[in-house]
Structure 1
Amino acid sequence: MGSLVGIQIGAISFVDEGVDQVLDIVGEAAAVDAVFVATQSFDRGLQGRQVVSRPWPGHGARQLDHHHVGGSYVTQHPEFYANTALGPFRAPDREVAGFDVLEQVIPAARRRGMRVYSFVLENTHSGLTRHVPNWPKVLQVDAWGRADPYACVRNPDYVAWWLGLIEDQLKSYPLDGLMFGSERHGPLGNVLGDGGFARDGNPYCFCPHCEAAGHRRGIDVRRAREGYVALHRLAHGGADPGGDSGFVRFLRLLTEYPEILAWEQLWTDGFEALRRQLYGTAKFLAPHVQVGWHVWHHNSFSPLYRAQTDFAALAEYADFVKPVLYNNCAGYRLHHHIRQVARSIFAGVDEQTLYDLYRGVLGYDEAVRFDDLPATGLSADYVTRETRRTVTAVAGRAAVYPGLDLDVPTPEHVKKTSPEEVRASVTAALEGGADGIILSRKYSEMRLDNLAAVGDTLRARA
């Protein structure tokens, strides 16, 4: 088969089913040769058992794990966190307390010829970081001077914490790779309702570190705040209609306050600087380790986020990229996204018209009724197109491992994964030129027949 076949697995699956059994199942059923072990996360999308709303997948414990906080699922060493207010924080989740997932998985995976990647996820919109001592000291600040749920990418303590965590893992475990995930973007998208589920819609970051960076760049920080407050009022229905459409008023604000775009770029540059620093640090510590990025599914829905996710530039500091291409739940997520922006700067524009505009701009041949999107999902053609676009952009400088949807939980009315859909998406990714695939979101949600469909498809192509 040749290419990488990866799967994302949380610590609780190894505890519930046993390390050997889990590795045997995914190896035999899905031909997996690389496990992406969730080692750091405050997001239930990566850790924990099946979610409450979905049926038992046929393996693992049936009981729900209500006590979920998150944190590190490996042993941490205090000396690596000496230069930050944020110390080590082991996940206190009852079911996995004291279980070092890498210590247990790496030797068992090696015996099977499997590679082991550590998957670390930055997502903190859940608010679970409230359990971490000193975390309030690294939070972003919004345009009104309030703390924001996400940490600031320029805060020295936050940056030092991530660098310490990476050094700790690479010096403590013989890893083959490291994947960093972050599912957030800048203030402009957040204010416009462009940020997906569980986002607060507020403009950020106006902490002292970001304001100092803005001053160094020559941005009028006061006007940036003022512009974002006006934009927030427009996006959330508080602006005076005045006879003009929301989109026209949006463009008017951008011309009146060029600081809006300047502040957006300032935030984006800070985020990319963090990723560059993480990559460089990891390669300095362990040159052989493959370092890559989980790229948020929002890249498939938002033209703004896509414009900022330049795979050609990303390839300068990546050994691989994982574009999230979950086609089954993509219809539901795209539908939600269109609904969000239709209530914001596109207020008054028919949702079908807006959807047709978006699919044209994004390059999708998905001509369906807008309201049918959740039930139909996006086709395998979407997987092929997005894989090919990514492969073309990186131009051989980084491997491309699309993340494929195996039973990502969604409401009852939304399209569900089937073996036929799995076969189609695996085939689509490989025909789009992928160097491998990563089965996602997490093993604890995946049905065994869908895992088997992956292996059957790959063996048929061998």
Structure 2
Amino acid sequence: WIHSMIEDQVRNHPIDGVMWCNERNSPLDTLIQGGAPGDFSEPARKEAAERGIDVERCRQALLHLYDFMQEAAAGKQFPDGPLITFLRVLLDNPEALIWEKFWLERNKDLDRELYGLVKWCKPELPFGLNVWNRNHFNPIRRAQWPWTEQTLYADFVKPITYQHQAGEVWSRELSFFRTTILRDFEPDEATRALFRILGLNEAPFAELVATGMDPDSYVHGQCADALRGVDGKAKVYMGIGVDAPRTLPETAKCSRDIVYRSVLATYRAGGHGVVLAPNYASMHLTHLDGVAQALDELGQK
């Protein structure tokens, strides 16, 4: 169905390009969020067996990890703490990583297939990837989605940096880890450590939701990271948040100044352009004026 939808759009409509959004949770990602890992459907099991994977051993390994995550979330005390215990359970059950890798490759296969389909229909039509902000907020996902690999099946990438919403997104991401493997860390303590690992330099945790992330550090930094990663093999169009959804009343609100500085930060970092997101219907025109002002100053209009 997805193949046919993309082919129809490419062949029968005068579009300028295709941007594919792939936002799915892997088995390990799902476990950390408190869910049951998958996909053990019959097609997945059949393909895994064809690749020489022992499906049942992988399933049992993930069940051990699931039991640990449930115990950690329920507050069980571990002699060595939840982080060391998690690593021990993972090392005792390496088949869980085999299934994680299998799932990840199948997920990326769809990206590759769609890239090939677009190029088969119209070789000159650009195909790009909408890159989840969780990929730069989660160290596991960041390791799993290297920029250089994505250039093999994308002409451009669009990192999501919805700056005013980013504090809320970070808070939710951190809560997954603090429920289980980072349960012993205070929010600001965990934030500072993870920021250092991920190369982020933003407000303290207590202020982050209300202030969002600063365009001059966050948007600029993520654009620079992406450019280093793609190394000239793909273009980088930054996903600038304009009135992205807020699910908490204290979440920072978008403004003309935030949008204006985000566009300037993109071009200052060397980005090739911007994509205004996530939904035009929800954007305030006065905030879009910030885009126009920035592009005018940059001579891009």
TM interval, shorter chain, is over 0.9
Q: Distance in 2 between matches of 1:269 and 1:350?
A: 34
Which one has the bigger helix percentage?
2
1:411-456 Cα offsets, whole Å, 9 max, x none, are 2211111111111111111111110000011111111111011001
- d(CA) in 2 for partners of 1:220, 1:416: 49
> What pairs with 1:40-79 in structure 2 (closer than 5 Å)?
none
* SS of corresponding position for 2:59: helix
Which residue pairs with 1:428 in the alignment? 265
Name which of structure 1's ranges 262-271 and 406-415 shifts more when overlaid on structure 2. 406-415
SS of the residue 2:164 aligns to: helix
Aligned to 1:377: 212
User: Distance in 1 between the 2:76 and 2:164 partners?
Assistant: 39
Partner of 2:116: 280
Return the match for 1:449 from 286, 289, 296: 286
Kept in 2, the 8 Å contact 1:300–1:325? The answer is: no
Q: Distance in 2 between matches of 1:390 and 1:185?
A: 22
Among 13, 17, 27, which residue is 1:177 paired with? 17
2:22 is aligned with what amino acid? S
Query: Following the alignment from structure 1 to structure 2, what is the Cα–Cα distance between the partners of residues 219 and 252?
Result: 22
Number of equivalences = 295
For 2:226, the equivalent position in structure 1 comes to: 390
By how many angstroms is 1:254 displaced?
1.2
Between Structure 1 and Structure 2, whose CA radius of gyration is higher? 1
CA positional deviation for 1:240: 5.4
The one-letter amino acid paired with 2:26 is G
Percent identical among aligned pairs is 32
| TM-score normalised according to structure 1 size | 0.62
1:383-422 to 2 correspondences below 5 Å:
383-410=219-246, 411-422=248-259
Q: Distance in 1 between matches of 2:88 and 2:55?
A: 19
Match of 2:152 in 1: 316
Task: Give 1:218's match in structure 2, choosing from 52, 72, 77.
Answer: 52
Structure 1 partner of 2:136: 300
In the alignment, which of 157, 165, 172 is matched to residue 5 of structure 2? 165
Shift of 1:343: 0.5
**Aligned twin of 1:85:** none
Runs of 4+ in structure 1 deviating by more than 6 angstroms, as ranges, are: none
Amino acid corresponding to residue 21 of structure 2 in structure 1:
G
- Contact in 2 for aligned 1:296/1:323 (Cα 8 Å): yes
Q: CA RMSD in A?
A: 1.5
- Give the stretch that moved more between structures: 241-250 or 384-393: 241-250
Per-residue CA distance 1:315-363 (angstroms, 9 max, x = gap): 1111111110111111111012112210011122222111111100110
State the secondary structure of the residue aligned to 2:24.
coil
Q: 1:255 maps to which residue?
A: 91
2:239 partner amino acid = G
Cα deviation code 1:219-252 (max 9, x no counterpart): 3222211121221222233585342211111101
State the SS of the aligned residue for 2:201.
coil
Q: Distance in 1 between matches of 2:13 and 2:265?
A: 35
Instruction: Write out per-residue CA displacement over residues 363-413 of structure 1, whole angstroms, 9 at most, x where no aligned residue.
Output: 0112x3312110011112111111011111111211110100111121221
Alpha-carbon contact 2:78-2:85 (below 8 Å) kept:
no
Letter in 1 for 2:199: G
TM-score scaled to structure 2, two decimals? Answer: 0.94
Are the aligned partners of 1:279 and 1:317 in contact in 2 as well (CA < 8 Å)?
yes
The residue type paired with residue 210 of structure 1 is A
Q: Distance in 2 between matches of 1:404 and 1:291?
A: 19
Q: Is the 8 A contact 1:163 1:278 kept in 2?
A: yes
CA, structure 1 residues 420+242, in 2 after alignment: closer, same or farther (shift >3 Å)?
A: closer
